Amino acid sequence: MTILKPKSRRTKVTAKIPTARTNFEDYRPDAATWITLATGEYYPDILPEACELYKPVLVLFGQILKRSESSCALFTNICELTETWMRVQLARVFRKYVSPATPVEMLKAKRKARAICDQFGRDFRPIQKVQKAFSSRPIRDEALCAILWEYKDRGKKGYDLTEKFFALVHGHLPGFSIIGPERAGKDVLLGKVWPDYPKPDRPADFIIKRGAEVLAVGFARYDGDRGGAQEDDRTGGYRECAAEVLGFAARKKLGKLKVIFLNDGPGLLLGSMWKDYAHLERSGKGRIKVATLRMVPERITAAWLEA
């Protein structure tokens, strides 16, 4: 009797080769490791410094309030101040006490004071109620000072992002130049780059060049938190920008011109933001790149810029 030995089953082990990341979507499985978290400040730790900073603002607001015969006169008197920082802070206090529906950006336009009063003055809170409400609060109003403190570093995260990006470009892409405000400053208007650009007042955050040739137009944002309609607004606006820039490149035969969207922050992990940005990148057929700061060295390369 012959006993047949069973064939040994050898398991073939195949080494897993890491998949090359070629699209923004490829970073999604470990998305959290690719974003940058900006540092923040704790409450109520900020209150002593906030009250010290904004106490003079509240004192001056009270003085102007006492001598103003109407809420429109109060706003006009605020607009007459020449010191920009103080005038902007007073406009923010005015908005809280007098006209919460009026955007701060509108109230900051001192030359439009009369027009704002004519158009919106009827909805301003009466001066007597404003005076009574203001006098009911302490001059070191912690609640209001904390609110004003939130405005203090508004935009700082975005400025930090662009500053670090500029440093990366200088170190990572020798031979290339980058133009634009590293922190606060005027955006690059594309009409200044190309006199025949169809929307000359289109702002960009940076331009990357090699010699005299423009290779990329860039837009940078730090998304601390976004969701809902904000997602659609952001990606919808970006789609319009990309189509406009690449359409111009096609008409002018600027074969190397590309678009970079530098986006970072935890807001990218919310809702459909990551998916929407991936779709935006794919729509460019290789001429759009979406990147966080940590992706820049492997995504924004000399080879891609000059392709």
How many Å apart are CA 302 and CA 296, to the nearest integer? 11
- What sign does the dihedral 182-186-189-193 (CA atoms) show? negative
Q: Considering the chain, what is the average pLDDT of its residues? A: 89
CB-facing half-sphere around the CA of 163: CA atoms within 13 A: 9
pLDDT value of residue 210 = 96
pLDDT confidence tier of residue 226, bands split at 50, 70 and 90:
low
3-state secondary structure of 307: coil
Specify whether the CB–CB gap between 262 and 165 falls below 8 A: yes
Per the structure block, which two tokens stand in for 20? 């090359």
| Whether residue 10 has pLDDT greater than 80 | no
How many Å apart are CA 155 and CA 215, to the nearest integer? 27
Average pLDDT estimate for 188-200 = 96
pLDDT value of residue 236 = 82
Closest CA to 217 of 196, 195, 248: 248
Report DSSP state, residue 31: G
| Whether residue 8 has pLDDT greater than 60 | no
Per the structure block, which two tokens stand in for 115? 């027009």
pLDDT value of residue 230 = 55
Average pLDDT estimate for 1-29 = 59
How many Å apart are CA 98 and CA 25, to the nearest integer? 47
Checking 198-203 for CB contacts under 8 A at 24+ apart, the result is: 198/244, 198/248, 199/244, 202/241, 202/244
pLDDT value of residue 229 = 47
How many residues comprise the chain?
Answer: 307
Specify whether the CB–CB gap between 134 and 144 falls below 8 A: no
> Residue 26 belongs to what H/E stretch?
none
How many Å apart are CA 93 and CA 104, to the nearest integer? 10
Alpha helices in 229-283 (DSSP H): 229-251, 273-283
Give the amino acid at 294. Answer: R
Closest CA to 87 of 72, 100, 98, 74: 74
pLDDT confidence tier of residue 11, bands split at 50, 70 and 90:
very low
pLDDT one-digit tens code per residue, 230-268: 555 667 889 999 999 999 999 999 999 999 999 999 989
Q: 20-24, 113-117, 135-139: which has the minimum mean pLDDT?
A: 20-24
pLDDT value of residue 15 = 38
**Architecture (CATH level 2) of domain 156-306:** 3-Layer(aba) Sandwich (3.40)
Winning range, highest mean pLDDT, from 105-119, 127-141, 211-225: 127-141
Average pLDDT estimate for 148-169 = 89
Distance from the Cα of residue 179 to its chain's centroid: 18
Per the structure block, which two tokens stand in for 75? 């706003």
Domain extents for the chain? 47-152, 156-306
pLDDT confidence tier of residue 105, bands split at 50, 70 and 90:
confident
> How many distinct helices (H) and strands (E) make up the chain?
13, 7
pLDDT confidence tier of residue 183, bands split at 50, 70 and 90:
confident
pLDDT value of residue 3 = 44
Specify whether the CB–CB gap between 248 and 206 falls below 8 A: no
How many Å apart are CA 93 and CA 74, to the nearest integer? 11
Query: What's the chain's Rg over C-alpha atoms?
Result: 27
Specify whether the CB–CB gap between 216 and 260 falls below 8 A: yes
| List of residues 6+ apart from 101 with CB closer than 8 A | 120, 123
pLDDT value of residue 104 = 83
pLDDT confidence tier of residue 111, bands split at 50, 70 and 90:
confident
pLDDT confidence tier of residue 43, bands split at 50, 70 and 90:
very high
How many Å apart are CA 206 and CA 162, to the nearest integer? 9
pLDDT one-digit tens code per residue, 73-92: 999 999 999 999 999 999 99
